Each structure stands twice: as structure tokens, then as C-alpha cells.
């Protein structure tokens, strides 16, 4: 029988350590001959990313042992970090950001020179090029500011030798892909102030006899059309995801610039290009293509013009957009379900079967401890729809006292062009299994709902996102689902901004957790120069151009409204973060001194944007639980008490 205990005090088998262990997982999967290889994040190894291959008889082995860390800093979010050319593995190593090769002999050598400034030259989106070469995006620091960066497409000789510049058509570039036969190369490019989901250009050029590229031509895309993925189909044709009609659909593009939508649907088959080399579709042959339909696996059939879900994958609600791969008569990828952790899976489309190539964690708790997400659509006072996933408290061993309503956390995702899926996340289950409800809000600006929904946030960041999150929270209170006196908001990066803005602009919440946030909009962008090049003009569209809208930047910056905080706040910050650097959180916390507002500020050496180390993730979750307990009035079990300052 379940025990009666207040919400927030329930004990749970889902510990911070088990949530941290699940914080890694596979990424950047691809087929290498008859094998599947992927990168694998390992929180227990200091956040190292290993390169792994599946063994024919089951199980896996590391292709690259420690200390090799297969990751890079291009755009600070990284790009495809490995490829195979012949029998040579070529990869980027986090510590030095250089390109390395592991030959068939097992020897590992650096292919690119050591830069004068550590990590001052970075590479990403590695692709096989001409025989004996790998092509990549090269990014170089060229000045003292984080945004002083230049980029080129380069060829790197596998057997050593100087790099060769191929072209530099735009300020931002994806890795070039060589055509069958080697006559042409194709890539995507865009320039400030656009972000890649605003407008990109699909470029093609001849590969000249000396191996460089001739003048490029633009085949598709533009200022208001975003191309997020392109692949060669044949010598003279390409397949690409672009959104001229407001939805990322799959098109066939000819070298003459002709374009045909292969299945016009008012659904997103692509997404925001946050990392170079992302892959939402894979050609299967015979006019069929595996696609991700708003994150779930489907097959696009050119003959019928239909996009059909794959029954064998019906319970997998979030497929990774880094790695969809045609493989062994079907599709391989990385996917998670509502009660399944992210895993490498293979779907046999002909047989209608699915096989897991990586097992579920032995520490995964029984399903009854896991929340079952409820998909909801809420409505704002202005009549706008706001999708969200509600994760109610779930623990078979406990019941709350009669009449008590649970505290609830509103999750604000990053991006802000991110989105939530109803997939298992043990950090959410960490809270719900202790009696704290969670609602993940896909506020205006989220991807997955078309360009019109995404552009609800144009020049409205800090307004629409804040209002949408508040509307969802207040609706749950009105429905009697959540305790209106115990609402919190939680987010990192852009979600950290939304959380801080919500706490300073509304009175909906009692407390909030703000992780690696943006707090001073003027300092973060433009001449402030506190962020990296990729996002240094992002606020032109999210807030407005400078200097014309300078007052708007000030009005919406949480740092100028610290005295108006609705309640206590917990700040969490990586000290090596180049995207949302600690200077912003430092200034905000300093401004709280003597104001009588309860707060805590935890910083983590060795962490960048997002937390990757197991010990950090444990510290973060335990600190949060203690923080909510102190603010919401319950005594959580089994976590150390977080000391709050005033």
C-alpha cells in the first residue's frame, strides 16, 4: 500500500546519480561499410565523447580509447566530429581542436597544425572529399573578441601535408559534399544577421583540376527560405529540406535550379541547424525516403506523395536529428520513447521489426516510477495556441494528503528555437517521482510547428515566451492540477533568459532556476561582445536591430530588474561557457547583495554550455531539489541542504 506523504517529500529510486548516468548517450551515428558507428557521451568519464562501433555478435567496442574526446567547438555547439575515408578514421579531438587520423595500423597522428592560440583553430562537419582527402569547415579566431572569427571550407590530406582552402562563400558554412564522380561540391551558407533557420543558400560549384572550387551558384534558399539539409542523389540532382511554403519539406533540386516538393505536407520534416552536419532524412531508394516527421520516424513515398509513420517505431517519440541513416534494408538512428532511454536502433522496414543495438540502462527504474506525459494545447488570452507536455507526479509508493495540490515546475527550453518532446528524461523523472509536477512548454518561437509559429517570437523575445509559459502555468492552477502558491520555472541558455525574465516581469512563479543564462541583452550581443560569433547577431531578429531598438534591449534584460524578482532564484553556471559566459550571472548575483532576496549561485569549473560531467549533474539536481524544498515548504529526502544567501 502507498504511504501518505506531502508532495516533494517522496523517496524515489531515481537518484541524481542515475539521472546523471543517463545524461550521456549516443550521437552522430553513421554506417561504416556493414557496421554502425557512433559517438557516445560519457558523463562518468568527465564528459568524454568516445567513438564506438557495434560488433557483429552484439555489444560494442571503443574505436578510440581514452583520452581521445571526439568533439569540436565549431559555432561552439559543434559539428559532425568524425568520418571514415578508406581505412582511416578522421576525427576532431576536444582538447586541442585539431583534426587527427587513426590509421589501420592503430597509430593516431594529428593532421592539422597546432595553432598559436590554444583551440584558436577549430574544425567541424568532417566529410570524405576527393580520394586521399577529408573536407571540413575550418573556423579561426582572428581577434580578441569571441565574435572575431573567420571560416573557410578546407581539404585536409589524410597522409599529412598542408591544408588547402576550397572556398569561403559565406560567413557561415556547412561542410562540402562531393558529387558522385567528383565533378561538383555542394554546401549551405548564410551571413549575419540571419540564423540558419531564417534563410540559407544552397550552393554548388565545380571542383577544379587543382582541387579547389570554382565560382559557386545558388540553387535554392534565400533570405526567407531556410535549407537545413542537402544530400547528393545522383550526379546531376540533389535532395534538400527547405521551407518556401512555411514548412520544412523534402525537395529534389536540379543543377539548373529546378525544384520539386516530393510530398507537400503542412508538417516539419526538418529542423533548426544548430550543429553542422545534422540529418533529418535518408534516401532509401525506389523513390522512398526515411524522414523525421516532427521527430518521429516516417517514410515519404514519392509515388503517392504521402508521409506515413513507421508502425515498428510508433513508441519512439524522439529520433535524434544528427544521424538518420539508411542501413541494412531499413533505417538506423538514435531514438527514445516515453519510458525508454535514448538508444541506437535499427528498423527493418520490410519485416516491420525493430532491434535495439544498445541496451537500456540496468539502473532504469520500474515504469510505474516514470511520468507519462500528457500532450496538451493551451490557449493564451490573445487566443494563441501553446503546445505543452504535462508530466504529473508519479510514484506507486506514495500518495499526497487529501486536498493537497502538487508544486509544479515550468520548463522553458533553450534555443529559443528548440522544442520539447514527450520522451523520457530522468532529470524530469527525478522531480516527478518525488511529487513535483513538471510541464514542458513549446512556447511561440519553438520549432516543429511551422515558420509562422516560429516567427511569433520575431522581435518578441521576453514577451511571447514569458506570456506563453505563464498562460500554461496559470491554466494548470485554474484546472486544480497545480498549486498556484508553489510554481517554479526552470531553464538553461535561452530558457535561462525566459526563466529570469519570467521571474522579473510576472508574479506567476514563487521561485526559479536559471542555468547558464542570458541576462544582459546589450552586453551579450552587438558591441557588448560577450557571446560567440554564431549568435552575436541573433537578437536582431529576436529583439530588434541596434541601435534603433536599444531601449527595448534594456527593458527586456532581467539584469536591470533584479529588484523586481518574484521570489528566490538559483543560478547554475559553467565557468568555461563561451556562449553564455559567467560574466552575466556574476553581475546579476552581485546586484542581489543586500537586497534580502534569497538566492544561491553554483559555478562549475570545466563545464561549458550545458553540463556534461556526472558530478556536476548530481550537484545540480540535488541543489535544485533542496532549493525547491526550502522555498515551497517541504523537506526533501536524501539530498544535502543548499545554503541560500540574502
pLDDT digits (tens, 9 = 90+) for 208-259: 999 999 999 999 999 999 999 999 999 999 999 999 999 999 999 999 999 9
- In sequence order, the 6+-apart residues with CB closer than 8 A to the CB of 550 are 522
**Residue 398 and residue 634: Cα distance in Å, rounded?**
15
> Does domain 3-15+365-632 sit in CATH 3.40.50.1820?
yes
| pLDDT value of residue 526 | 67
Could you read off the pLDDT of 579-627 as tens digits, one per residue?
999 999 999 999 998 889 999 999 999 999 999 999 999 999 999 999 9
The distance from CA 181 to its chain's CA centroid, rounded to whole angstroms, is 34
**Residue 345 and residue 296: Cα distance in Å, rounded?**
13
Torsions phi, psi of 629, nearest 5? -60, -45
The DSSP bridge pattern shows strands 48-54 and 60-64 to be: antiparallel
- Burial bucket for residue 420 (CB in 10 Å: 0-12, 13-18, 19+): buried
| pLDDT value of residue 25 | 86
Nearest-CA neighbor of 504 among 520, 523, 492? 520
Nearest-CA neighbor of 443 among 389, 367, 363? 389
| pLDDT value of residue 160 | 83
- Say which DSSP state 376 is in: E
**Residue 293 and residue 266: Cα distance in Å, rounded?**
10
User: How wide is the angle at C-alpha 495 spanned by C-alphas 171 and 430, nearest 5°?
Assistant: 130
**Residue 609 and residue 517: Cα distance in Å, rounded?**
10
**Residue 360 and residue 353: Cα distance in Å, rounded?**
18
pTM over 0.85: yes
**Residue 614 and residue 190: Cα distance in Å, rounded?**
36
Which stretches in the chain have pLDDT values below 50?
Answer: none
| pLDDT value of residue 348 | 97
| pLDDT value of residue 147 | 87
For the chain, the C-alpha Rg in angstroms (whole number) is 24
Nearest-CA neighbor of 103 among 129, 81, 85? 85
Amino acid at each position: 500500500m502507498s504511504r501518505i506523504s506531502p508532495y516533494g517529500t517522496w523517496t524515489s529510486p531515481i537518484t541524481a546519480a542515475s539521472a546523471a548516468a543517463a545524461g550521456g548517450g549516443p550521437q552522430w551515428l553513421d554506417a561504416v561499410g556493414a557496421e554502425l558507428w557512433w559517438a557516445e557521451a560519457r558523463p562518468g568519464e568527465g564528459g568524454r565523447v568516445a567513438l564506438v562501433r557495434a560488433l557483429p555478435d552484439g555489444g560494442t567496442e571503443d574505436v578510440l580509447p581514452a583520452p581521445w574526446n571526439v568533439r569540436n567547438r565549431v559555432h561552439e555547439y559543434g559539428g559532425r566530429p568524425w568520418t571514415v575515408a578508406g581505412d582511416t578514421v578522421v576525427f576532431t579531438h576536444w582538447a586541442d581542436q585539431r583534426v587527427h587520423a587513426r590509421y589501420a595500423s592503430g597509430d593516431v597522428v594529428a593532421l592539422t597544425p597546432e595553432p598559436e592560440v590554444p583551440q584558436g583553430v577549430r574544425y567541424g562537419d568532417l566529410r570524405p572529399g576527393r580520394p586521399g582527402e577529408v573536407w571540413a569547415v575550418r573556423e579561426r579566431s582572428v581577434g580578441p573578441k569571441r565574435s572575431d572569427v573567420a571560416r573557410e571550407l578546407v581539404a585536409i590530406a589524410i597522409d599529412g601535408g598542408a591544408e588547402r582552402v576550397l572556398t569561403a562563400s559565406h560567413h557561415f558554412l556547412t561542410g562540402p559534399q562531393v558529387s558522385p564522380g567528383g565533378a561538383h561540391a555542394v554546401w549551405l551558407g548564410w551571413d549575419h544577421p540571419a540564423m540558419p533557420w531564417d534563410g540559407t543558400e544552397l550552393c554548388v560549384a565545380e571542383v577544379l583540376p587543382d582541387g579547389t572550387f570554382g565560382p559557386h551558384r545558388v540553387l535554392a534558399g534565400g533570405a526567407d527560405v531556410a535549407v537545413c539539409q542537402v544530400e547528393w542523389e545522383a550526379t546531376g540532382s540533389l535532395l534538400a529540406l527547405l521551407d518556401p511554403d512555411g514548412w520544412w519539406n523534402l525537395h529534389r533540386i536540379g543543377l539548373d535550379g529546378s525544384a520539386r516538393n516530393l510530398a507537400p505536407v503542412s508538417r516539419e520534416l526538418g529542423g533548426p541547424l544548430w550543429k553542422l552536419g545534422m540529418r533529418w532524412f535518408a534516401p532509401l531508394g525506389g523513390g522512398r525516403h526515411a524522414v523525421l516527421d516532427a521527430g518521429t520516424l516516417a517514410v515519404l513515398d514519392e509515388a503517392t506523395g504521402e508521409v506515413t509513420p513507421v508502425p515498428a517505431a510508433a513508441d519512439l517519440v524522439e529520433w535524434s536529428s544528427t544521424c538518420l541513416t539508411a542501413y541494412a534494408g531499413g533505417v538506423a538512428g538514435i531514438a527514445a520513447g516515453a519510458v525508454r532511454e535514448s538508444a541506437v536502433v535499427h528498423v527493418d522496414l520490410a519485416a516491420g521489426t525493430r532491434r535495439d543495438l544498445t541496451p537500456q540502462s540496468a539502473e532504469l527504474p520500474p515504469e510505474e516510477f516514470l511520468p507519462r506525459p500528457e500532450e496538451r494545447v493551451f490557449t493564451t488570452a490573445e487566443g494563441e495556441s501553446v503546445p505543452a507536455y504535462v508530466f504529473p507526479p508519479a510514484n506507486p509508493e506514495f500518495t499526497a494528503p487529501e486536498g493537497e495540490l502538487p508544486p509544479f515546475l515550468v520548463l522553458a527550453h533553450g534555443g529559443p528555437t528548440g522544442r520539447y518532446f514527450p520522451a523520457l528524461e530522468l532529470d524530469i523523472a527525478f522531480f516527478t517521482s518525488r511529487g513535483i509536477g513538471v510541464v514542458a512548454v513549446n512556447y511561440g518561437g519553438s520549432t516543429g510547428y511551422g515558420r509562422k509559429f516560429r516567427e511569433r517570437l520575431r522581435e518578441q523575445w521576453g514577451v511571447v515566451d514569458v506570456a506563453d509559459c505563464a498562460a500554461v502555468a496559470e491554466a494548470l492552477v485554474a484546472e486544480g492540477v497545480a498549486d498556484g502558491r508553489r510554481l517554479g520555472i526552470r531553464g538553461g541558455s535561452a530558457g535561462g533568459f525566459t526563466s529570469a525574465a519570467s521571474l522579473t516581469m510576472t508574479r506567476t512563479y514563487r521561485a526559479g532556476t536559471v542555468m547558464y543564462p542570458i541576462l544582459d541583452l546589450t552586453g551579450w550581443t552587438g558591441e557588448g561582445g560577450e557571446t560567440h560569433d554564431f549568435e552575436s547577431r541573433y537578437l536582431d531578429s529576436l529583439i530588434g536591430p541596434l541601435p534603433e531598438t536599444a531601449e527595448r534591449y534594456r527593458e527586456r534584460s532581467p539584469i536591470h530588474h533584479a529588484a523586481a524578482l518574484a521570489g528566490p532564484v538559483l543560478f547554475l553556471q559553467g565557468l568555461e561557457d563561451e556562449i553564455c559566459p559567467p560574466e552575466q550571472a556574476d553581475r546579476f548575483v552581485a546586484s542581489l547583495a543586500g537586497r534580502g532576496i534569497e538566492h544561491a549561485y553554483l559555478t562549475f569549473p570545466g563545464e561549458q554550455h550545458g553540463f556534461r560531467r556526472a558530478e556536476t549533474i548530481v550537484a545540480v539536481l540535488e541543489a535544485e531539489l533542496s532549493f525547491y524544498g526550502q522555498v515551497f515548504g517541504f523537506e526533501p529526502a536524501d539530498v544535502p541542504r543548499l545554503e541560500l544567501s540574502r
